[in-house]
Amino acid sequence: MARGRRSISTQKKKEKKVNIQQGSGIRCPKCGESTHVNNSVPLPNKSIMRRYRECNACGHRFMTEEVIKRDTTPRKK
């Protein structure tokens, strides 16, 4: 290895896709308690919202990426 260079680990984080209904709440992956949102950032493609969350019980911090689904059902006039 060349001097001054560090080896970079390319370990991929586990991705978990969950179908969540609006208002149902996200649970902490560590302890299972309720969480709150610290920050929300819309991604450039406008259909994904990145939320930074923190557990109310253990303080564990994690990020979720939520796909915003548009209601495409036809409406009667």
pLDDT digits (tens, 9 = 90+) for 4-56: 554 444 344 555 555 555 556 889 999 999 999 999 999 887 788 999 999 99
Query: What pLDDT is attached to residue 24?
Result: 63
Dig out the tokens for 56 from the structure. 């109310």
d(CA 54, CA 33): 10
- The pLDDT, as a whole number, for residue 11 is 41
12: tokens are: 């991929």
Which three-class secondary structure state does DSSP give residue 57?
coil
Q: What is the pLDDT of residue 18?
A: 58
- The sign of the CA dihedral 55, 60, 63, 69 is negative
Is the per-residue pLDDT at 75 higher than 70? Answer: yes
